[in-house]
Structures are given as C-alpha cells and as structure tokens.
C-alpha cells in the first residue's frame, strides 16, 4: 500500500493571520501573473497598494499586455515577496488568487483608491491621471502563505481582509484623520516609528489608516504599525493611537 502524502498545510492562528495581513498591507510591489491569449501565464512587476479593507489595488496602462489579458480573463495571481538578507527562500511570501475588477474613477470607491494608492506610490502621480491608465481592484479568492522553510498555510479571504464593518466606519474619516495626525501629531508619528518600530529618526508622515494598522512614510521608506485590536470607528482609533503614543514615550524615557 502506498504511503499517504503528509498534509503540509498548517492551521491558521492569530499570529499567522497578522503575518499574512502584514505582507499584504506593507507591499509596494508584486509580481502579477495573467493569462495570455495563448493560455500561457505571463508575469510582470506592478506597483501595489491596498484599499481600506485590504483588497490589493494596482494602476496599469491600457498599453500593457497584462491589461489586455485581464480584460479577456480577469483571473490572475499576485506574488508578494519582500525578501531580505541571505537565502530568499527563507523569507515569508504570499501568493494570492485574485479576480481583477476595473475601478470607476468618478465613484466614491475610485476617489478613495486613488488617494490611498498615491499615498503609498507618490511618484505614480506623474501618470496616474493619464487617460490610458486605470486602477484595478484585485478581489481575493484564496491564498498561499509560505512563511519560510516548513511553514505553509492557506489563508482564506476572511483571514486577509479587515473586518468589513470596521473598514466602512473608518472609510468615512480616514482622509481627515491622516491630515489631522500629520498637522497636529507629527511628534507622535515620529515616536511610533522610532520608539515602537525601531526606525531612524526623521520627518515620518502618516499615509494611511485601516482597522488593523497605521502606515507611515519617510521619503521612499515605509513602515506599518499594527494595532493591538481591530479599530471599529473614530473613538476607538483615537484611544488606540493615544495608548500607542504613551507606550512609545515610555520606551523613549
């Protein structure tokens, strides 16, 4: 009798969910694989950001082969692999099965996605409004997380997305909250970066918020500060940000 193949997929837990969400939320580039007219997969490098609930979003030209491929067949795969020192296979990466959906620029969703994408990819402002460029949301159908050697997981869309009700509540205030933090709480942002995340000092700015964390940037460098719990609205957001600032000050003292 042949031996049964060992199931290498391990169960998800909160730590693994946080790791998977972090890979997705922190990404600035990814490999997008689309299906060409001959049925052969074709991979290309794309800039990436996330909508407030966690859906990856891309900005691509109508002249690019992958745009035509998505128009013919919206199924695609997105590989996020930030890498690091040493063996590249020892570092965590995630592959997402996605379905591309073109975003209507004039819609509320379109305005939010444009703002969030440009905050993470500021140089794309040079061409984001060219008529042949479009934003696409990559709705997640499933995923495969490789956390390094002997660490394999299969996160579901629910494992990767923020709580939808919490995301909807924050979507209404996110833009104003980011402006307010940069104008009135720049010192706290700096403390988050240096005191909690160990980054070098500098004029760090908030560039985005979602229920699971705060995104910051200094030049081309970006950081993400995970929240200790999912934020369900403006009141909880203010409380958690204040608590995190107090923790950072205590560490700096």
DSSP 5: P
If DSSP codes are grouped into helix, strand and coil, which group holds residue 202? coil
If DSSP codes are grouped into helix, strand and coil, which group holds residue 248? helix
Sheet with 221-226: strands ordered across = 205-210, 213-218, 221-226
CB 100 within 8 A of CB 135: no
Q: Give the length of the chain.
A: 253
pLDDT tens by residue, 8-64: 889 999 999 999 999 999 999 999 999 999 999 999 999 999 999 999 999 999 999
Rg of the chain's alpha carbons, rounded to an integer? 19
Q: Which domains does the chain possess?
A: 14-161 (2.30.110.10), 174-248 (3.20.180.10)
| SS3 of 218-242 | ECCEEEEEECCCCCCCHHHHHHHHH
Residue located via tokens 């990466």:
93
CA-based diameter of the chain, in Å? Answer: 70
| pLDDT over 70 percentage in the chain | 98
Mean pLDDT score, 237-252: 93
Structure tokens at 150: 């002997």
Residue 152 bridge partners (DSSP): 9, 146
Mean pLDDT score, 105-127: 96
Lowest-pLDDT range, 55-59, 87-91, 134-138, 172-176?
87-91
Mean pLDDT score, 207-236: 96
Higher pLDDT, 27 or 89: 27
If one counts every other C-beta atom within 10 angstroms of the C-beta of residue 175, the result is: 16
Ranges assigned E (strand) in 3-156: 29-35, 41-47, 49-50, 56-61, 75-80, 93-102, 133-146, 152-153
CB 139 within 8 A of CB 231: no
pTM for this entry: 0.93
What pLDDT does residue 6 have?
Answer: 56
């Amino acid at each position: 009798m042949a031996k049964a193949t060992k199931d290498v997929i391990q169960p998800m837990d909160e730590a693994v969910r946080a790791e998977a969400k972090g890979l997705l939320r922190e990404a600035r580039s990814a490999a997008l694989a689309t299906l060409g007219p001959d049925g052969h997969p074709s991979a290309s490098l794309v800039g990436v950001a996330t909508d407030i609930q966690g859906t990856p979003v891309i900005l691509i030209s109508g002249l690019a082969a992958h745009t035509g491929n998505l128009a013919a067949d919206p199924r695609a795969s997105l590989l996020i692999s930030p890498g690091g020192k040493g063996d590249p296979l020892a570092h965590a990466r995630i592959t997402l099965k996605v379905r591309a959906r073109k975003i209507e620029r004039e819609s509320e969703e379109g305005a939010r996605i444009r703002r969030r994408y440009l905050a993470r990819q500021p140089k794309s402002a040079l061409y984001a409004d060219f008529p042949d460029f479009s934003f696409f949301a990559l709705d997640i159908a499933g995923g495969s997380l490789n956390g390094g050697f002997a660490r394999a997981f299969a996160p579901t869309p629910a494992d990767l997305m923020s709580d939808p009700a919490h995301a909807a509540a924050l979507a209404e205030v996110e833009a104003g909250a980011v402006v307010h933090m940069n104008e009135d709480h720049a010192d706290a942002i700096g403390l988050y970066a240096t005191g909690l995340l160990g980054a070098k000092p500098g004029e760090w700015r908030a560039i985005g918020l979602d229920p699971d964390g705060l995104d910051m940037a200094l030049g081309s460098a970006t950081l993400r500060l995970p929240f200790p719990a999912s934020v369900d609205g403006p009141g909880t957001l203010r409380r958690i940000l204040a608590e995190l600032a107090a923790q950072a000050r205590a560490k700096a003292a």
